[in-house]
Structure 1
């Protein structure tokens, strides 16, 4: 991870020698995630649970995501940058009655780092429209916390962590409004496609595919810092 950050930072420094326009960007959006294999894994854990009638009450829903990027102008119509993103979702298996409770919480986090290129097709009267593509690496963590209490006695208290990494590509459209020479607000509609991102637990024969592919609408703000 440190090597990846170093390489992208080095590229930006090299490009900044030729370009004086650098902007910092923040985005917040809503991620629609595939995660079919993770949901199937949740179902299997429910089926082999220690009690009957365990229900999946949360099944890795779509949720908010956040990203930031540092971008360099390559001319009046194009930019190249480094982006960092954070994705999250989760699931829960649960059953309870008068005698006790069983619960399995599954928290999935994704961390993306990649390169992004943007090209403006239309730019007039502070309104702009363009396309953008991105690609890079995505690191995912799945944390599982399981417990069961019967008659106020803790019978199960387990934790498990699965980790993995893969690659992603992303493309989409950007609509931009320029507030001033330094600041703009933008709306993006993108689609992410993930390559293999298999999560594993060290020393265990357990694996599951984390596929974050899906639509990514977002809104953001950009400020020219140099």
Structure 2
């Protein structure tokens, strides 16, 4: 993690002297997440409970958030930046009646740190359109919780929690539409993220992996991404 952050910082410092402008931006968007292994994990938990649980959430489309510092107007690329992105989704299976309640929850968070490049091919007035590619280091954290409440007397409550981690890399190619109203710059992007994460392992024991039904589980953040970014541009006008 420290090496990746240092590398990204050094790249920007070297290129800064060749750039006319730099920008600071924030974006929000929505992502779809394949999460095949974790959907299987949730189904396995339901089966093992031997209870008539209903899955109400199964890793749905959820928002992601992103911050970026970028250089603009380089030799080949129109933008090169360092970014951090946060994504989150989860699953829930539950059942309740007069006797109590059972919840099987799972929440997974993804943290990305990486580089982004954009090249515009169409320019007209303040509008431009092109392609972008993001590459990042990706760290995932999964928290699985079991909750049981039985109506008394006496009332009984049992809770269990399990934390898993996974690391890997991701790549996201896509299309970008940009509108410049300096010092502001607006960007609409649509892309597809490809996740190359390793296996999920217990936070306190890297040799103990998550293997529902004997199958190794991975995060699988792969899916469509669509977002809007607003940046503030510093430096000389074009």
Report if aligned partners of 1:94, 1:104 keep a CA contact under 8 Å in 2: yes
RMSD: 1.6
Measure how far apart 1:80 and its partner are: 1.1
The aligned counterpart of 1:13 is: 13
**What residue is the counterpart of 2:164 in the other structure?**
162
| Counterpart residue number, 2:201 | 200
For the pair 1:221 / 2:230, whether they are aligned, the reply is: yes
1:67 counterpart = 2:66: yes
**Distance between the aligned counterparts of 1:104 and 1:176, measured in 2?**
43
Q: Point out 4+ residue stretches in structure 1 off by more than 2 angstroms.
A: 17-20, 151-156, 202-207
Deviation at 1:20, TM superposition (A): 3.9
Structure 1 residue 76 displacement after superposition: 8.3
Q: What is the distance in 1 between the residues matched to 2:51 and 2:195?
A: 35
Unaligned runs of 5+ in 2: 212-216
Q: 1:150 to 1:66 in 2, by over 3 A?
A: same
- Cα deviation, 1:137-188, whole Å, max 9, x if unaligned, reads 11101111211111243352111101001111110111111112x2111111
How far is 1:19 from its partner? Answer: 2.3
Question: Which 10-residue stretch deviates more, 166-175 or 202-211?
Answer: 202-211
For 1:145-184, what aligned pairs fall within 5 Å after superposition?
Answer: 145-152=145-152, 153-180=155-182, 182-184=183-185
2:59–2:91 CA contact under 8 A, matched in 1: yes
The 8 Å contact of residues 166 and 197 in structure 2, kept in 1 or not, is answered as no
Aligned residue number for residue 117 of structure 1: 117
Distance 1:121 1:169 in 2: 21
Give the secondary structure class of the aligned counterpart of 2:60.
Answer: coil
In structure 1, the partner of 2:51 is 52
The residue number in structure 1 matching 2:214 is: none
Aligned to 1:40: 40
| Farther off after superposition, 122-131 or 51-60 | 51-60
TM-score (norm. length: structure 1):
0.93
Report the Cα distance in structure 2 between the residues aligned to 1:102 and 1:163, rounded to whole angstroms.
25
CA distance in 2 between counterparts of 1:20 and 1:161 reads: 46
Cα distance in 1 for partners of 2:199, 2:57 equals 22
CA distance in 2, matches of 1:127, 1:205: 49
**Number of residue pairs matched by the alignment:** 224
